[in-house]
Amino acid sequence: MSMPEQSWKLSVAPMIDVTDRHCRFFHRLLAPHARLYTEMITTGALTHGDIHRHLDFNEQEHPVALQLGGSEPEALSQAARLGAQWGYDEINLNCGCPSERVQKGAFGACLMAEPKLVADCVKAMQDVVSIPVTVKHRLGLDYNDDYGFVRDFVGTIYDTGCRIFVVHARNAVLKGLTPKDNRDIPPLRYADAAKLKQDFPEATIVLNGGLSGVEDCSQALETFDGVMLGRAPWHNPGILSELSAAFWPNESVMQEDALIDQLVAYAASQIERDTPLRIVVRPLLGLFNGRPRSRLWRRMLSDSKLLNANDPNLIRRAWSEIGGYAPLDTFKTEPLVTRSHSD
Residues designated as active site: 97
Rounded CA-CA distance 234/175 in Å is 27
The rounded distance, in Å, linking the Cα atoms of 48 and 120 is 23
Q: Which residues, 6 or more positions from 28, have their beta carbon under 8 angstroms from its beta carbon?
A: 34, 36, 60, 61
Q: What angle do CA 11, 17, 20 make, to 5 degrees?
A: 55
- What is the DSSP-derived secondary structure letter of residue 80? H
Rounded to an integer, what distance in angstroms lies between the CA atom of residue 273 and that of residue 330?
Answer: 23
Exposed/middle/buried for residue 220 (C-beta within 10 Å: 0-12, 13-18, 19+): buried
Q: CB under 8 Å to 48, separation ≥6 — which residues?
A: none
Burial class (CB in 10 A: 0-12, 13-18, 19+), 294: middle
Q: Is 41 helix (H, G, I), strand (E, B) or coil?
A: strand
- CA atoms of 270 and 334, how far apart (whole Å): 11
How many angstroms separate the Cα of 30 from the Cα of each of 26, 58, 260? 7, 15, 11
Dihedral angle sign, alpha carbons of residues 166, 167, 172, 178:
negative
> How far is Cα 25 from Cα 117, in angstroms, rounded to an integer?
34
